[in-house]
A and B are shown apart, each in its own frame.
Chain A
Amino acid sequence: MTSPAPDAATVPRVAAKARLQWDEVRQRHVLLYPEGLVALNETGADILALCDGTRTVAGIAASLQQRYGVEGVQQDVAGFLEALAAKGLVVFGMPGGLDSTP
């Protein structure tokens, strides 16, 4: 499952084996997967919540920029998703649903 680096048109989604969830006890979001978890900060959780299989990286970045009133976050979004993809927790597809990953 070698994922290429995501570009603006890449459509990321959370892998089937992973689940985004609110951890009430620790007051943070977590991404749960077999035998492990990733603790997320607010931005990370926002990015993953936007990974619905329809939005592109550019679209996700635009949403965040609007929400937080900042600019130039696309590279950060791509880097965050790439790191999760390296652990198999995010998969990349193209618009229209054809996955680039086996």
Chain B
Amino acid sequence: MTPQPLWLLAELTYRCPLQCPYCSNPLEFAGGRFRNELSTEDWCRVFREAKALGVLQLGLSGGEPLLRADLEQLVAAAHEVGLYQSLITSAYRLTKDRLAALRRAGLDHVQISIQAADEELSNYIAGTASYRDKLAAYRWTRELGFPLTVNVVLHRKNLHQVRDLIRLAESLGAERIELANTQFYGWAFHNRDALMPTRAQLDEGWRVVQEERARLGTKLEIVWVLPDYHEQYPKPCMGGWARSYMTVTPAGEVWPCHAAGRITTLKFANVREHALEWIWHHSDAFTRFRGDAWMPEPCRSCPRKTVDFGGCRCQAFLIAGDAGVTDPVCSLSPHRHLVDDAVAEIEGTAAAEAGEWVYRAAPNSRALAAKG
């Protein structure tokens, strides 16, 4: 029996005032495929259909979701159908009045990113002076009674700040801090050489996390998203392809995860043309890798196939050029050497020698698209 989805990530727009070089959005976000954003009515229908299909958790993301002038309306509509809503935002230019309006509309939880523990580095990584807006928004979030998650994407340039970041989240009264080691998709894959940490950095970061967890107990939940290039086995990406999760992109394409749009061998359906239920059950993108009938060796006969589901299809496509093979991160994959090579290349270089990144910005997006 086909499972029912629990999670919907609504990428409301790919416009964003920040330019983080690890952004998971598509490299070609500024192109025509994503520009024709869904209307308020479209999104309200998507929320109703999602709830009827079994979705309980809604992430309102982007790009920067605050750039949608109808965000309050969308939150009210999702609240009315009973979705538990998280706003995933940079908080750039957010005001307390708007946050209060979102609270009244029924928003449940706020997740605000920060790029580093100090202003200079945070602004440098974001490519936009946004640190002070974030600190103000953290305080308002707590004052208004929202549960707060502080989200930090970790990489070579900020992994040394793990302790400072945890202390910052603690001082803000956050419920959770998500320390998300960079997953290499979208802009992060393009900027991989500049972002990839060393093994020593990761070991130290993990050691600090364990120390701080012991100190803080249940006062602050510290989530450590594994750096999968440095693991032996792949992550159970999305809990398995098309098992519990779907992403609706700004112009209405529906993907089994927020990186899947890059897989050129899949056909994606659009909510403008199909009901969400049909897309979940019958569209090419959702049915292609659901279950385990698609699996080649070494997955097919592997006892771990019910644990990690063959890993990540997007990673297989990006690294091995074929979305239908074992995740190259797996030590049993015939493509593992491609991951080892990428990791080894970084190990020899000092932090200061790491490559330059390309910021996630519309002109860079168009230039990269033109280059192919």
Contact = CB atoms under 8 A, between A and B. Distances in A.
Nearest to A2: B217
B86 A34 contact: yes
B82 interface: yes
Contacts of A3: 218
Contacts of A102: 219
Interface string B136-147: 000000000101
Interface in A1-18: 1-3, 16-17
B6 interface: yes
Interface hub of A2, A21, A34, A36 (most chain B Cβ within 10 A)? A34
Given A34-B175, A86-B218, A25 B108 contact: no
A88 B84 contact: no
Contacts of A21: 56, 82, 84
Interface residues on A, range: 20 to 34
A73 interface: no
B4 A25 contact: yes
Contacts of B52: 25
A92 to B, nearest CB: 13
Interface residues of B, number: 22
Nearest to A17: B147
Given A23-B56, A34-B149, A34-B175, A88 B218 contact: yes
Chief secondary structure at chain B's binding surface: loop
A34 B56 contact: no
B54 A26 contact: yes
B37 interface: no
Nearest to B220: A1
A25 to B, nearest CB: 4
Interface string A33-68: 111110000000000000000000000000000000
Chief secondary structure at chain A's binding surface: loop
A34 B6 contact: no
Contacts of A36: 57
Interface in B34-87: 52-54, 56-57, 82, 84, 86
Nearest to A1: B218
B57 A32 contact: yes
Contacts of B111: 34
Interface of B: 4, 6, 52-54, 56-57, 82, 84, 86, 108-109, 111, 145, 147, 149, 175-176, 217-219, 221
Given A21-B84, A34-B175, 19 more contacts: A1-B219, A3-B218, A17-B109, A17-B175, A19-B84, A19-B108, A21-B82, A23-B56, A25-B53, A26-B4, A30-B56, A34-B86, A34-B108, A34-B149, A35-B86, A35-B109, A37-B6, A37-B56, A37-B84
20 contacts: A1-B217, A2-B218, A17-B108, A17-B109, A17-B147, A21-B84, A23-B54, A25-B4, A25-B54, A26-B4, A30-B56, A32-B56, A32-B108, A34-B175, A35-B149, A37-B6, A37-B56, A37-B84, A87-B218, A88-B175
7 smallest CB-CB distances across A and B, nearest first, come from A17-B147, A25-B54, A32-B84, A34-B109, A1-B218, A34-B147, A1-B219
